[in-house]
A and B are shown apart, each in its own frame.
Chain A
Amino acid sequence: MTICVGTTCYLLGAADLQDLENFLPADLKENVEIIGSHCLGVCKDNQYGAAPFVKVDDEMMSNATVSSIIEKIYEHRKGSSHAG
Chain B
Amino acid sequence: MQDKNDANRMRKELLIRIIKDFMNDTLAEKIDKIPIEIRPKGEASSRCCIYKDRAVLKYRLMAMLGISVEDETDESKSLSAYLADALKRDSFDEKILSVLDVACTSCVTSRYLVTNACRGCFARPCVFNCPRGAMSVVDGKSVIDYSKCIDCGICTQVCPYHAVIRVPIPCEEACPVGAIKRNHETDVQEIDFGKCTYCGKCMVACPFSAILEKSQIIDVLKAIKEKKKITAMLAPSVVGQFPVPLERIAGAVLAIGFTGVEEVAFGADMTSENEAEEFVERMKRGDKLMTTSCCPSYVETVKKHVPGLSAAVSETPSPMRYTSQTLKQEDPETLTVFIGPCVAKRKEALIDVNTDFVLTFEELAAMFVAFDLQFESVKPHEMTRPVKSSGRGYATSCGVSSAVLKEMKDAGREDIPDINAQFINGIDKKAVKMLQMYATGKMPGNFLEVMACEGGCVGGPCAIGKVKLAIDAVKKYADGPGIPKKEK
Contact = CB atoms under 8 A, between A and B. Distances in A.
Nearest to B375: A7
B43 interface: no
Interface in A29-66: 36, 38-39, 65
B469 A18 contact: yes
Given A7-B365, A18-B469, A12 B9 contact: yes
A7 B469 contact: no
A72 B13 CA distance: 26
A18 B466 CA distance: 8
A63 to B, nearest CB: 10
B481 interface: no
Q: Interface majority SS on B: helix, strand, loop or mixed?
A: helix
Given A6-B374, A38-B376, A11 B243 contact: no
B313 interface: no
A18 B374 contact: no
Contacts, number: 46
A19 B243 CA distance: 11
Interface string B1-28: 0001000010011001000000000000
A12 B368 contact: no
Contacts of B416: none
A28 interface: no
A8 interface: yes
A16 B369 CA distance: 17
A19 B466 contact: yes
A36 B468 CA distance: 18
B373 interface: yes
A69 interface: no
A7 B4 CA distance: 16
A15 B341 CA distance: 15
A12 B12 contact: yes
A7 B9 contact: no
Given A6-B374, A38-B374, A39-B374, A15 B369 contact: no
B253 interface: no
B464 interface: yes
Contacts of B469: 18-19
Contacts of B4: 13, 16, 65
Interface residues of A, number: 17
Contacts of B374: 6-7, 38-39
A19 B369 contact: no
Contact of B369 (A5, A7, A13, A36): A7
Nearest to A16: B4
Nearest to A14: B243
Contacts of A14: 243
Contact of B368 (A7, A13, A19): A7
A15 to B, nearest CB: 6
Contacts of B200: none
B466 A10 contact: no
Contacts of B465: 15
B366 interface: yes
A6 to B, nearest CB: 6
Q: Identify which of A8, A11, A65 gathers the most chain B CB atoms within 10 Å of its CB.
A: A11
Given A6-B374, A7-B374, A18 B369 contact: no
Q: Identify which of A5, A15, A38, A39 gathers the most chain B CB atoms within 10 Å of its CB.
A: A15
A8 B464 CA distance: 12
Interface in B357-387: 362, 365-366, 368-369, 373-376
B466 to A, nearest CB: 6
B243 A5 contact: yes
B365 A10 contact: yes
B242 A10 contact: yes
Contact of A11 (B369, B466, B468): B369
B471 to A, nearest CB: 12
Nearest to A65: B4
B12 A11 contact: yes
A16 B375 contact: no
Interface in B330-375: 362, 365-366, 368-369, 373-375
A38 B375 CA distance: 8
B252 to A, nearest CB: 8
B464 A18 contact: no
A11 B366 contact: yes
Contacts of B466: 15-16, 18-19
A36 to B, nearest CB: 7
A40 B43 CA distance: 29
B243 A18 contact: yes
Nearest to B366: A11
Given A6-B374, A15-B464, 16 more contacts: A5-B243, A7-B368, A7-B374, A10-B365, A11-B12, A11-B362, A11-B366, A11-B464, A12-B9, A12-B13, A13-B4, A14-B243, A18-B469, A19-B469, A38-B375, A65-B4
5 contacts: A11-B16, A11-B368, A15-B243, A18-B466, A19-B468
Interface of B: 4, 9, 12-13, 16, 242-243, 362, 365-366, 368-369, 373-376, 464-466, 468-469
9 shortest A-B CB distances, which residue pairs? A7-B368, A11-B365, A5-B243, A38-B376, A8-B369, A7-B369, A39-B374, A16-B4, A6-B374
